[in-house]
Chain A
Amino acid sequence: MEKPNLFYIQNMLGGDTGFEQKLINIIKAEFPEEQQTYQNCISSKDYKATSEIVHKLKHKISILGLEKSYQVAAAYELKLLDGQLDLKEEFELILATITNYLQEI
């Protein structure tokens, strides 16, 4: 599986190292909240709300350079609107990978 990286944050936003750390801190704070919202929505089988939070998480997946995972998230977001869960495990593995990465950096 592809690994998260900081290429976008370090190279595409003007190369401000102060901002780089600030943004990482924001992601570290926001990502677990969104992940918890995802868990709550999927547990309550509210797939429309789940799709909305996947949409939000999708942006962070792209910021962290996970291009293939982004495609999975985009497809899962759409499938959820039809109540289809076949990408659930794959998506949750992506979330777990990001969680581990955010603990390392």
Chain B
Amino acid sequence: MNYIIIDDEATARAIISQLCSNIEDLNVIEEFPNAIQAIKYLNQNEVDLIFLDIHMPDFTGFDFIETIKNPPRIILTTSDSNFAIQAFEYDCIVDYLVKPITQERFNKAIQKAKSQQVQSAPYQSAEPVETTSGNDLYVNIDRRLIKIDIPSIYLVEAKGDYIYVKAENQNYTVHSTLKKIEDKLPNDLFLKVHRSYIINVSKIIDIEDNSVLIKKDVIPVSRSNRPELMKRLNLL
């Protein structure tokens, strides 16, 4: 697993790096003294795991989580135990380590991160798209068919062997292809705007040159798909 460390304290970064060095398959990619630098890095690069300090001046760990798109697994490192409940409101949080961190406790957190890596990609793990029924799309999650309200879906993103389905109240990772889900979604509501993205046209906030804003996500629009998108809009 490739990981980065975000902590404003050099001593804390050194300790986490040392704890990681005692575990196989962990490769430190970068260390950042603040979250802003890390966000810039993550705009260009992908990592498997982030060690994130909560209490940093100006831009906290929680600000960071709210800001980044598709957060990877995150292990929080903090001197406060007060934030634990808030921390686990985020799906991406694997564990919560209170400083000073011991090797034994650290190893448990890494085991959790590794087991989640095997079981699923980020967000809720799901298996192939099954069927549609009226306004509903059913996906198979842990042998249960979970209903997703189709109009609540605002974005579908292709990511390797998975697609991320982003809906109003929940996000799902589905082991499927963009083509398969495109066939299940109503054409009058959804449009493929890029080889990796299908959007719900009714959820567009604004359009600028070669991108659309859907909720907080800026989605690229490929040149070949732009004419069809423009046709769908009720332009004044």
Contacts and interface: CB of A to CB of B under 8 A. Distances in A.
Contact residues on A (Cβ < 8 Å of other chain), bracket:
20 to 34
Nearest to B100: A62
Interface of A: 8, 12-14, 16, 19, 22-23, 26-27, 29-30, 52, 55-56, 58-60, 62-63
Contact of A62 (B10, B18, B99, B103): B99
Contacts of A22: 14
B15 to A, nearest CB: 7
B100 A63 contact: yes
Contacts of B22: 14, 16
A55 B19 contact: no
A52 B57 contact: yes
Interface string B72-98: 000000011000000000000000000
Interface in B93-141: 99-100, 102-103
Contacts of B12: 59
Contacts, number: 51
Interface residues of B, number: 18
B55 to A, nearest CB: 6
B47 to A, nearest CB: 23
B14 A26 contact: yes
Contacts of A14: 18-19, 22, 103
A29 B10 CA distance: 10
Contact of A12 (B8, B9, B102): B102
Interface in B13-64: 14-15, 18-19, 22, 55, 57
B154 to A, nearest CB: 38
B11 interface: yes
Given A23-B14, A63-B100, A13 B9 contact: no
Nearest to B8: A56
Nearest to B80: A55
A27 B103 CA distance: 19
Contacts of B11: 23, 26-27, 30, 59-60, 63
Q: Which 5 A-B pairs have the closest CB atoms?
A: A12-B102, A14-B22, A62-B100, A19-B18, A59-B99
B79 A55 contact: yes
**Residue of A14, A27, A52, A59 with most partner-chain B CB within 10 A:** A59
B19 A13 contact: yes
Given A56-B8, A56-B9, A62-B79, A12 B103 contact: yes
A26 B16 CA distance: 13
A62 B10 CA distance: 15
B57 to A, nearest CB: 6
A8 B102 CA distance: 8
**Residue of B15, B22, B57, B100 with most partner-chain A CB within 10 A:** B100
